[in-house]
Chains A and B, each alone.
Chain A
Amino acid sequence: AQSVTQPDIHITVSEGASLELRCNYSYGATPYLFWYVQSPGQGLQLLLKYFSGDTLVQGIKGFEAEFKRSQSSFNLRKPSVHWSDAAEYFCAWGDGNKLVFGAGTILRVKS
């Protein structure tokens, strides 16, 4: 079965520091890959998505992600974190129909 792994449950970074959230997927074919952000008690907002083409994807709010087929990874990055980025981040795999989500990574930002 398809699975998405986010190895870090919690990450704390200082405001202004860089951020990388890890995501690995297990499926052979070229996947659709996504990063979503969820604030407490809220639904999900799409940050960015990868379907094909350029492996470095730019998203909203200054986020980017890089697809590495050899590592089955799709890590999310941001060069300088803002306090408002504190939230939970979900990586997801899609097959054109359903989405499979990772367990999520809670980002805490310290001032």
Chain B
Amino acid sequence: GAVVSQHPSWVICKSGTSVKIECRSLDFQATTMFWYRQFPKQSLMLMATSNEGSKATYEQGVEKDKFLINHASLTLSTLTVTSAHPEDSSFYICSARGGTSGYNEQFFGPGTRLTVL
């Protein structure tokens, strides 16, 4: 149980285009989803937290107009990188968490490798 998928697993796009990454919880309802970014040989940095049906909360320094997050259902969140540039190339990982009280474990997706040419 507690499987999180991401699609696509990798994507290459041209500079200036937009890319959408999907994160799905396959066997549980994810009340909260998290989006992380990981540069090569570095740790995961939290970009934003999204609760189903609410606007995402972005971490300091993350451009909300560039990284659009939608969490329209309890099993799907999307991250859209708008007007992508080479510096946006990175490994994007989502995680999902169910429940609304107490501590609930985050389950991580396999990640999406974005390369912007």
Contacts and interface: CB of A to CB of B under 8 A. Distances in A.
B98 interface: no
B12 to A, nearest CB: 15
Interface residues of A, number: 21
A103 B113 contact: no
Interface in B44-64: 44-46, 49
Interface in B67-117: 91, 93, 95, 102-103, 105-106, 108-111, 113
Interface of B: prevailing SS: strand
A98 B95 CA distance: 11
Contact of B46 (A41, A46, A99): A99
Given A41-B91, A44-B93, A49-B105, 5 more contacts: A44-B44, A44-B95, A99-B46, A103-B43, A104-B42
Interface of A: 32, 36, 41-46, 49, 51, 90, 94, 96-104
Interface of B: 4, 6, 34, 42-46, 49, 91, 93, 95, 102-103, 105-106, 108-111, 113
